[in-house]
Amino acid sequence: MKRTAMRTDLAVEIQELHKVEEKDGFSEEEYSAKGISVSRVKITGEQAALKLSKPIGEYVTVDLGESFSDEETHQNAVEVTSSEISRLLYGEKKTEETVPDVLVVGLGNRQMTSDAVGPVTVDRILVTRHIKNNMPQLYEQLGLNPVSAMSPGVLGQTGIEAFEMVKSVCDAVKPSAVIVIDALASRKMNRLCRTVQISNTGISPGSGVGNRRSEISRETLGVPVISIGIPMVVDAVTLTTDTIEMALEKIKKELSAGNPEIVSAFSAFEEYDGGDIIRNTLSPFDMNLVVTPKDIDRLTEKCAGLLAIALNKALHGGLEEEEIAALLGL
């Protein structure tokens, strides 16, 4: 079947679905550090951006592996995530001058477990901007960086686009960089709650689950925007389409040995765009059904915890993890 039904926010998955080459302005690099696999996808040309429907920029994917059942993996994943955030935030060379005032934004709906990872992460960020203003000596002494945070809520609860809210606060607070955290949709179940995507392209409208509005990016906010996301759901249409495809592949292999008419039947099949039929079959629920791990409540907590430690580390480089925890009262 044709692939018109795919919904994913992950650059690594989009690229699996489309043919894109170096000459289009595309590169991919993989490395493993402390047992944690990382992929860095760079879109540098308009051609690649068009083919992938993704803005020019860098997309880093960190594989969390067994972080939530193995303490050592957890620590390594935190470290790798934190250093990738730092690299995109500060550039390769971090200096006194490159340490920005950061506004951290938790996107998503706090009341919907599968969408809450942004606000829950933000709850655990060590904010310090007010300490700078109100207790400058303590601030100096602790060697803090100015960090502020907000969770703008979702359109259905506020009547205000997240972008509008972030833009107006950004204009008032004047950070030198913005970090947005959001729940993503992935195509593969084995990426759920196991992958962090970090990019310097902001969050583009229309990508992913399709309910994002105006873009939150350097273009619209006027300062660098780093976006961090963890896939929390697989869209039901995508799951079904993918599974059908994989199942058909196996069935075809088993059934068609020496059976030419079946081969031809399957070719007709492959030309067929199954997305609409599946969408109709799932309708009217397709937009509102999600596939999640059973223990999504617990996993949201775990993912937010990991992201918050990695972010606090990246934002408050001078502090030990324990000092941050103590300041947070965690």
Window 106-125: residues binding its own copies (CB under 8 A): 111-115, 122-123
CA distance 100 to 315: 9
Instruction: Rule CB under 8 A: choose which of 59, 68, 90, 139 binds its own copies.
Output: 68
If one counts every other C-beta atom within 10 angstroms of the C-beta of residue 133, the result is 10
Q: Between residues 17 and 326, which has the closer beta carbon with respect to its own copies?
A: 326
H-type helices in 7-45, by residue range? 11-17
Length of the chain as a residue count: 330
Instruction: Rule CB under 8 A: choose which of 56, 142, 173, 223 binds its own copies.
Output: 173
Counting contacts by CB under 8 A, is residue 127 touching its own copies? Answer: yes
Of 28, 49, 55, which is closest to residue 39 (Cα–Cα)? 28
Q: Between residues 151 and 200, which has the closer beta carbon with respect to its own copies?
A: 151
Counting contacts by CB under 8 A, is residue 291 touching its own copies? Answer: yes
Half-sphere exposure of 240 (CA within 13 A, CB side): 18
Counting contacts by CB under 8 A, is residue 2 touching its own copies? Answer: no
Q: Between residues 11 and 236, which has the closer beta carbon with respect to its own copies?
A: 236
Torsion of CA 204, 308, 58, 68, to 10 degrees: -110
Counting contacts by CB under 8 A, is residue 33 touching its own copies? Answer: no
Instruction: Rule CB under 8 A: choose which of 84, 240, 308, 315 binds its own copies.
Output: 240
Binding mask 177-216 for its own copies (x = CB under 8 A): ------------xx-x------------------------
Counting contacts by CB under 8 A, is residue 100 touching its own copies? Answer: no
Closest approach of its own copies to the CB of residue 26, in Å:
29
As given in the structure block, the two tokens for residue 200 are: 């310097």
Q: Between residues 138 and 289, which has the closer beta carbon with respect to its own copies?
A: 289
Report 256-285 residues binding its own copies (CB under 8 A).
259, 261-262, 264-266, 268-269, 272, 274, 277-278, 281-282, 285
What's the Cα-to-Cα distance from 187 to each of 7, 10, 204, 237, 292, rounded to whole Å?
A: 7, 8, 18, 10, 12
Half-sphere exposure of 281 (CA within 13 A, CB side): 11
What is the three-class DSSP state of 145?
A: coil
Closest approach of its own copies to the CB of residue 46, in Å:
31
Q: Between residues 60 and 234, which has the closer beta carbon with respect to its own copies?
A: 234
Stretch that binds its own copies, among 26-34, 56-64, 296-304, 306-314 (CB under 8 A): 296-304
Closest approach of its own copies to the CB of residue 256, in Å:
8
Counting contacts by CB under 8 A, is residue 251 touching its own copies? Answer: yes
DSSP conformational letter for 125 = S
Closest approach of its own copies to the CB of residue 58, in Å:
28
CA distance 211 to 184: 11
Asked whether the beta carbons of 41 and 19 are under 8 A apart, the reply is: no
Asked whether the beta carbons of 291 and 233 are under 8 A apart, the reply is: yes
Counting contacts by CB under 8 A, is residue 176 touching its own copies? Answer: no
